[in-house]
Structure 1
Amino acid sequence: MSPMPARATEINADFGPRINTRLARYNDDDYFGFQPTSRDELPDPTTLVENLARSVLEIIAGARDLDQIARWVSDDVYRHLAKRVQIAVRARSATGAAPTRPAFTLGRTIITEPLDGIVEAVVIVHGRARTRSVAFRLEGLDHRWRATALHVL
C-alpha cells in the first residue's frame, strides 16, 4: 500500500502513454476494515469460548439479550443468532412458556489452532434433559477474538 493512489494509465499509439486524470480509488477495507492479528498478540481464548457458549445458550433461551455479545461476534453470526432468537420466541409464545435461565454445567472444552490467529473450539454443555455442544471459529481481528462461525448442536 502506497500513501498516494496510483494514476490510471492508457497507451495512446500516437503520443505514448497518457495519464488519466481520474485517480484510482483507495480500497477502504485496506485501511478501515478489520485487521488480522497474530496469535502472539491475542489472549488465551479458553475463557472467551466458555463465556460465549454460556451466553449463547442463555440468549436462545430468552434469558439474555443478544446485544450483550455483539462486540464478540461477526455480523453474520449476529444475524444467525437473531434468527434463532426469533424462532425461539415464537415457539415460547405458541406454548405460553416464559423465558427462563437454563440450568446447565459446562463440560469439556476442546480448542485447536489450524492457523495463526484462528481458533476452532467446541464446548460440551450438560443440561438436565440433554447434552449439547457449541462449536466456534474465532479469528483474531483488531487485537481481540471475534466469533466468525457459531453452531449450537
Structure 2
Amino acid sequence: MTTLATTEPPTVTVPAPARIRPPRLHGPRPWDRIAFRAPERSPSAHDDAAPHLVWPQPVVVDLPEPGAWCGALVRTCVEVLLGARPAAQLARWLTDDLYVSMSRRAGLAQALPTSARRVQVLRVHTCELPGSRHEASVVLHDGRRVRAAAVRIEVYRGRWRATALEIG
C-alpha cells in the first residue's frame, strides 16, 4: 500500500507592521474584555473620596390642570370601550394593570356592532391628595346614556398617569 503525499507549501505568517496595527492593541487594557470586570483597586484607595450619587426628585413643571386632564382621559377611555378608538392610545397614560384590563374589555366590545358616537364631558370634580396625586369624579354623556367615572392620577416621569379607574 502506498500513500500519496501531497506537498503543500508551508504557510508563513508575517506580523503586520506596527503602523498598521490599531492603537488600541498597544498597551494594557483598563478592563478585562472577557469577564467584564474592572481592575482591582488597591487597599490604600480612599472610598470616602468617591462622590455619592444622589438622584434628584423629578421637577414637575408645566403639567396640565388635573381636572381637564382627567376629563380628557376618561372621555378617551369611554371612546375605546365604545370601539371608536384603538386601546393602544391609552398605553402611555395608564399603568400596566389598567391598560391590560382596558384593552381586554375593549376587545370584547369590538365584537358588538356600534356606531361612532361623540362622548361629551359634562362635569369634573377633583380632589388633591398628598404626594402629587389627585382623584377626580367625571360625569359624561356617551350619546345614549350619562355615565360616571372615578380616576386617580399620579405624577410619573414628569407627566400624569392614571393608577385607578372605574367607569359606571
TM range (shorter): 0.5 to 0.7
Match of 1:44 among 45, 54, 65: 65
2:154 alignment counterpart: 139
Mapped to 1, the partners of 2:127 and 2:60 lie a distance apart of: 12
Tell whether 2:123 aligns with 1:102.
no
SS of equivalent residue, structure 2 residue 92? helix
Mapped to 2, the partners of 1:54 and 1:104 lie a distance apart of: 6
Q: Larger C-alpha radius of gyration, 1 or 2? A: 2
TM-score, normalisation: structure 2: 0.60
Matched ranges for 1:8-87 at <5 A: 42-87=63-108
1:19 alignment counterpart: none
SS of equivalent residue, structure 1 residue 71? coil
Structure 2 unaligned residues grouped into runs of 5+: 1-54
Q: Quick check: 1:61–1:88 contact (8 Å CA) kept in 2? A: yes
Which amino acid in the other structure matches residue 152 of structure 2?
A: R
Tell me the number of residue pairs that the alignment of Structure 1 and Structure 2 aligns: 114
Mapped to 1, the partners of 2:84 and 2:126 lie a distance apart of: 27
Query: Which structure dedicates a bigger proportion of its chain to helix?
Result: 1
Which amino acid in the other structure matches residue 110 of structure 1?
A: H
Q: Which has the higher contact order (CA 8 A, sep 6+)?
A: 1
Superposition CA RMSD, Å: 2.3
TM-score, normalisation: structure 1: 0.65
Q: Percent identity?
A: 32
CA offsets per residue over residues 35-58 of structure 1, 9 Å max, x none?
A: 976777743212211111111111
CA 1:84 to 1:123, structure 2 compared with 1: closer, same or farther past 3 Å?
A: same
CA 1:128 to 1:142, structure 2 compared with 1: closer, same or farther past 3 Å?
A: closer
Q: Quick check: 2:120–2:142 contact (8 Å CA) kept in 1? A: yes
Mapped to 1, the partners of 2:139 and 2:91 lie a distance apart of: 22
1:27 alignment counterpart: none
Structure 1 unaligned residues grouped into runs of 5+: 1-30
Tell whether 2:109 aligns with 1:88.
yes
